[in-house]
Amino acid sequence: MKQTITKGKFFDGKVVSTKMKDTVVVEVMHITHHPLYRKAMKRTNNLFAHCTDPKIVDGMQVRIKEVRPISKKKRYIVVNEKA
């Protein structure tokens, strides 16, 4: 039996920018609660992901995976696009 080891976290997000070569900016939203009032708050992060697929355009839903550092800001790769 062969086991596959998958390290790194997966995130789902929306592509915000495709203006750079081989890089897309993905907006990832998560919900957290206020420490005192316990109200749910939406928070977003812009993550830089490596992508060579020319079919990826702004507004698409994609899944990204955490990998080793590719450049100064890129720490993710685009795994697949979500419909």
Q: Is residue 36, in this structure, part of any structural domain at all? A: yes
How high is the pLDDT of residue 2? Answer: 58
Per the structure, the complete domain to which residue 58 belongs is given by 10-82
22: CATH: 2.40.50.140
Residues in the chain, overall count: 83
- The Cα-based distances of 47 to 2, 4, 58 in angstroms read 33, 26, 14
Q: Give the per-residue pLDDT at 31.
A: 97
pLDDT of residue 63: 96
Question: Dihedral of the CA atoms 17, 20, 24, 25 (nearest 10)?
Answer: -50
In a domain? residue 2? no
Single pTM value for the model: 0.85
Per-residue pLDDT of the chain (83 residues; tens, 9 = 90+): 555 556 789 999 999 999 999 999 999 999 999 999 999 999 999 999 999 999 999 999 999 999 999 999 999 999 987 75
- pLDDT for 3: 54
5 inside domain: no
For the chain, the domain total comes to 1
* 39 within 8 A of 64, measured Cβ to Cβ: no
